[in-house]
């Protein structure tokens, strides 16, 4: 175990490949029993605290959601000394108030993914760990995010159910209609197994969901434009450093 003291680890999603404002940085390639992480972990100083940053899809967005090595990513952050992780996720909005550029701190999720390595128990000789996943996100970390949002005046929606789909394709209207019936408010492709792996490592974990577009059939658009998605995502992502700075300074 490293002696690094990390106050917060941030896993950046689509549109967040580097962490603005991180100073005195160093890069760390961490070997794991689960293969190679998405890239090097960048350690630096931010808001008077020690922060680790990892780009989930790689710094050049070379990894699609179903090919991300979630186990290696979480293991690497844990090995470097992280104890709390914020996963920043680009999502589609299903609920009417979760339109483009909305920022949401969900409190529940449903996993629709398949074929991914979902547990550290999958390797030979590992202890089987039946985690309690009733509440998939750490309440205290969610509370810190929401408090920071109130302090800075950034509009953030408290709660909602994140539906994790396989990707990399976007969903059909029928799939989104089913997810709405299931109780999903957001749809994304990277929320699982990241959240459950964090729980297996006893890491605090919360999701900061940035809405890039309305999901299929939920908005007025006949077709979802990738250019529009990234424009909305850039606007929402710009608020992330200010929000996290307020959280760390609290």
What DSSP character marks residue 82?
B
How many whole angstroms separate alpha carbon 48 and alpha carbon 85? Answer: 17
The answer to the question of whether 56 is labelled as a binding residue is yes
The answer to the question of whether 73 is labelled as a binding residue is no
The answer to the question of whether 214 is labelled as a binding residue is yes
The answer to the question of whether 14 is labelled as a binding residue is yes
The answer to the question of whether 89 is labelled as a binding residue is no
How many whole angstroms separate alpha carbon 174 and alpha carbon 85? Answer: 33
Q: What angle do CA 176, 180, 185 make, to 5 degrees?
A: 100
Cα 151 → chain centroid: 22
Number of neighbours of residue 128 by Cβ within 10 angstroms: 6
Helix (H, G, I), strand (E, B) or coil at 204: strand
The answer to the question of whether 189 is labelled as a binding residue is yes
The answer to the question of whether 57 is labelled as a binding residue is yes
Q: Nearest 5°: phi and psi at 98? A: -110, 60
Closest CA to 46 of 81, 3, 83, 9: 9
Annotated binding site: 14, 56-57, 189-190, 213-215
Q: Binding site membership for phosphate: which residues?
A: 14, 56-57, 190
List binding-site positions for substrate: 189, 213-215
């Amino acid at each position: 175990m490293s002696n690094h003291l990390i106050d917060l680890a941030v896993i950046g999603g689509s549109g967040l490949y580097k962490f603005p404002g991180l100073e005195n940085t160093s890069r760390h390639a961490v070997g794991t029993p689960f293969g190679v992480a998405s890239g090097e972990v960048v350690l630096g100083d931010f808001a008077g605290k020690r922060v680790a940053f990892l780009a989930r899809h790689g710094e050049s967005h070379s990894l699609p959601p179903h090919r991300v090595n979630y186990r290696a990513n979480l293991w690497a952050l844990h090995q470097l000394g992280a104890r709390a992780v914020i996963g920043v996720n680009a999502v589609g909005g299903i609920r009417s108030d979760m339109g483009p550029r909305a920022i949401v701190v969900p409190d529940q999720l449903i996993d629709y993914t398949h074929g991914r390595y979902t547990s550290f128990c999958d390797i030979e000789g590992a202890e089987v760990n039946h985690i309690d996943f009733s509440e998939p996100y750490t309440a205290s970390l969610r509370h810190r995010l929401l408090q920071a949002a109130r302090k800075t005046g950034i509009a953030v929606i408290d709660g909602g159910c994140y539906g994790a789909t396989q990707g990399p394709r976007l969903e059909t209207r029928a799939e989104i209609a089913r997810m709405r019936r299931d109780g999903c408010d957001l749809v994304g492709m990277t929320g699982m197994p990241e959240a459950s792996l964090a729980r297996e490592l006893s890491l605090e974990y919360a999701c900061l969901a940035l809405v890039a577009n309305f999901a299929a059939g939920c908005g007025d658009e006949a077709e979802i434009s990738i250019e529009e998605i990234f424009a909305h995502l850039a606007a929402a992502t710009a608020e992330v450093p200010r929000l996290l700075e307020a959280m760390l300074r609290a």
